[in-house]
Structure 1
């Protein structure tokens, strides 16, 4: 057997055909993007996990009493500001289309890691808010650049599964954050958790030095004439409707998923204390819950591309949206209010299925690159995944007011399930791309 035959045999079969082998650059580039996405997920969840301890310490330094209501209210405002930063990350799209995917990817990772680490130095809640806003600008851009890179760098017969593999990295980050919280956070406190967010700097340097630009982007870049801004192009035919519909669907996903995942640790800590757990044990239980949520989501990410290829993009997203709608209502609207001896185990059980359905974000990593040409792909990806953050910020601000006013966490979060009902009505307007190749 020749070396080529051996390579093909080792690659295995997919849909009855030999899969195209990945070269060293494609493999290294994927792992750089995956690691950046993992650390991105870790960074995002660190805030959720340390929300209570950080605000309990910082609010009094800001002249605000650290009551449970004020902690919840301030937490929602800070998260809304974080989402505003994420919304502003659409600026990375035109930069990625102009200067390259890997350079821009490295820049986004550098930004979010530096300002996450800086959050450890916060002396009051206002400084923490500024650092989270700036970190959000970097975090939002990483997804667009990583998703665009993998779609363009991987061969056609592997890029769909590559999207699922890539998205799993974000939720492995949840697991890493939970592990750090159960060890570093429980021992050294919330400031040490934010310092762990400096780790992505290494990934940024490695990406900049080792990963080459996708050949597809380089070919297009050699012949592109920039007479029209890519931001204007994505609103012109044939992209305008696609941009609006995908932005709306991502807004739905952002509202529901983030409400559930951000408040999940706080909900578990509340339920654990109601069951008689001490503070340290309750924090560890929140870490276990986040780990369980992460496992469910990773499984969902791996299953989603298979479903999308078999039944189509629109039906698959509808299944995941319906799962989110049901699980959010069950977790926060029902299990949260069960008797103390039943509430925590029931809530924890539902978390796995909530995580599985939360893998709907993997659909956008797979679907968005198929809807736009190479010349505007990064701009479209960044815009669609970012603009909904502004609406999500408003919803989270309103959620904080509702939590503060109602004096409960469960019902306001459960009401965010309504967003997925609206999403189910929007899905039929999306463009189905099952069986189509990535546009040039």
Structure 2
């Protein structure tokens, strides 16, 4: 009798455990919304990385038309200036946050996708570096808003027991875009040139239309909107209640942006240089850079997927510290050591996988930032914190370009950005720990 009772209890416990593991099912709108946000984020990443991949051929053609010689030094400096302009545009994308808090997540998300798609396509028509700079600047305004609004949408639309992993899934889209850009460069770019690459960036217009037609606003935003309490979200996140967490988040994101962009933007140029040094011709060097970018992207996708379970197990702050430490070591190892080896191509590419994995630290912000702010200011806070760092990143990128020009080398200036992640390890403890907290309404 006792044995049968024990068996019944064990069976009941097993059923309870299975029920606990069972996740809340997603409805059609939540699924469509996620794939719309993920696709936008994928094409966003593709758009961002297209510039890094076509930087040398585009400027080689456009600099002489603009009155400048297409020397390696001028290409490096002009590329840094143009990318700084892109990051300034990305920084100005904080304007989308208050719009999304006022008019809804999906409409404004579609607007960001439409903006970056149109102006990326227009970059294919540039006849000089000035036109290319203007198009990239406006595309940056659209691209910067997509991350904040996609992250806000998934956090609010998905059930509480699924949104954390949803943040990791969402972030993989950006690096899937890197992989897509590398694949396009390997095929379209090699055969049809840099203008064709920019034209492929106009594809996200279709995604913007689908987002508008198929996706409903999250219930959390609808409930907050129904209260008809008009706040000033930007003033609120800089006020006494949110001030500390806003500025700490800005600092951490600034470090992430400075380090990752330094590595990601200069990675193709570094691989091309190392490939040419190894005796490859120009075409083979470009293909090698595309393959290396694909490896970097795979590493980052794996880093994004590994992050949410780690954040749930050891907490947000310890997870970010682990990823920041990994970034510091990876940047120093790739650009500071492998880049200068006599036969450094293979070791450099191997380090790129680690650099990619720890670059997955961005997934934590998609998970963590929504947990720190309530619905009425969430999109504004997300957009402001992600945009602030891009202004600093623009300045650092300009300094990097000047350092490359002055030092006549790519490796050391980029390797020095590892210092930013060491500083970040001292800032992480100042952030709030939200593990186990429910998304605030």
Please report the TM-score for the alignment, with normalisation by the length of structure 2: 0.96
Matches within 5 A, 1:193-342: 193-226=197-230, 228-339=231-342, 342=343
Deviation for aligned residue 1:208:
0.6
Separation of aligned partners in 1, 2:327 and 2:130: 33
2:358 match: 357
- CA distance in 2 between counterparts of 1:177 and 1:15 reads 42
Structure 1 residue 65 corresponds to structure 2 residue 69: yes
| Superposition misfits of 4+ residues, deviation over 4 angstroms | 13-16
| SS at 2:375 equivalent | coil
Once the two structures are TM-superposed, the CA of residue 225 in structure 1 deviates from its matched residue by 1.4
Aligned residues: 426
Is residue 77 of structure 1 aligned with residue 81 of structure 2? yes
Secondary structure of the structure 2 residue equivalent to 1:334: helix
Give the 3 Å change call, closer, same or farther, for CA 273–313 of structure 1 in structure 2.
same
2:418 and 2:137 map into 1 onto residues whose CA distance is: 26
Structure 1: gaps spanning 5 or more residues: 1-12
For 2:10, the equivalent position in structure 1 comes to none
Following superposition, the deviation at residue 16 of structure 1 comes to 4.5
CA distance in structure 2 between the partners assigned to 1:150 and 1:15 by the alignment: 24
Query: C-alpha separation between the residues in 1 aligned to 2:398 and 2:349?
Result: 26
Deviations 1:264-307 (A, max 9, x none): 00000000000011101100000001000000000000000000
Distance 1:15 1:261 in 2: 43
Aligned counterparts of 2:217 and 2:134: Cα–Cα separation in 1: 33
Correspondence 1:377 to 2:378: yes
**Cα–Cα, structure 1 residues 198 and 278, in superposed 2: closer, same or farther, change >3 Å?**
same
Contact 1:224 / 1:375 at 8 angstroms: preserved in 2? no
**Which of 147, 158, 165 is 1:161 aligned to?**
165
Query: CA, structure 1 residues 344+218, in 2 after alignment: closer, same or farther (shift >3 Å)?
Result: same
Task: Determine if contact 1:370/1:437 at 8 Å carries over to the other structure.
Answer: yes
| Residue in structure 1 matched with residue 7 of structure 2 by the alignment | none
| 5+ long unaligned stretches in structure 2 | 1-16
Residues 17-62 of structure 1: CA deviation (Å, up to 9, x unaligned): 3111111111111000000000000000000000000001100001
Alignment partners' CA distance in 2, 1:77 and 1:331: 24
The corresponding residue for 2:12 is: none
Determine the structure 1 residue equivalent to 2:94: 90
Equivalences for residues 48-63 of structure 1 within 5 A = 48-63=52-67
